[in-house]
């Protein structure tokens, strides 16, 4: 495990200086899920939720959140994101929606936090839009699946 770079020699938080790093194409993919009653998921899939098209709104929320990650995660750099894709995979039998976000940039620092933030915002939006019918939903399993680009090279979750 490498040293923690977000702390200075006195142990105080700092924003990492990425000024001397090379610009590379960087990609991060994150996933998470929302577990709910199967009837709630049917309501979403059939677009019968009172607040509207849940997946469409959650997709926009995820994109907006990825673009604003630096505003809510204190030590993240503001990035010019070049691509954001958000996909939802519902499993009606289990009452689970898997969320996947893929974020890309060409820059000096990675986009892992942006991908994770996108998944989190999508999950929270799904919860918000149907909480009136299912307050017992569970948001979880938010994790980085892969990242590419930068000095540390590619990484992929192995399970």
Give DSSP secondary structure letters for 118-154: HHHHHHHHHHHHHTTT-TT-EEEEEEEEEEE-STT--
Terminal CA-CA length for the chain: 19
User: Do the Cβ atoms of 149 and 103 come closer than 8 Å?
Assistant: no
Those residues with Cβ within 8 angstroms of residue 41's Cβ, 6 or more apart along the chain or in another chain: 90, 91, 92, 95, 96, 97
Catalytic choice (17, 87, 91, 128): 128
Distances (CA, A) of 54 to 1, 36, 92: 40, 14, 15
CB atoms within 10 A of CB 10: 6
Task: Check if 128 is active-site.
Answer: yes
Q: Cite the active site residues.
A: 128
């Amino acid at each position: 495990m490498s040293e923690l770079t977000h702390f200075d020699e006195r142990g105080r938080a700092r924003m990492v200086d990425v000024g001397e790093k090379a610009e590379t194409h960087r990609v991060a993919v994150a996933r998470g899920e929302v577990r709910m009653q199967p009837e709630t998921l049917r309501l979403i899939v059939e677009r019968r939720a009172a607040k509207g098209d849940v997946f469409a709104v959650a997709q926009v929320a995820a994109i907006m959140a990825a673009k604003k990650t630096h505003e809510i995660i204190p030590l993240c750099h503001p990035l010019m994101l070049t691509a954001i894709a958000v996909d939802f995979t519902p499993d009606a039998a289990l009452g689970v929606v898997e969320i996947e976000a893929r974020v890309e940039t060409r820059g000096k620092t990675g986009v892992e936090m942006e991908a994770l933030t996108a998944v989190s915002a999508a999950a929270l939006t799904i919860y918000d839009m149907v909480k009136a019918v299912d307050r017992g939903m569970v948001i979880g399993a938010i994790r980085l699946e892969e990242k590419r680009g930068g000095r540390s090279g590619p990484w992929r979750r192995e399970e």
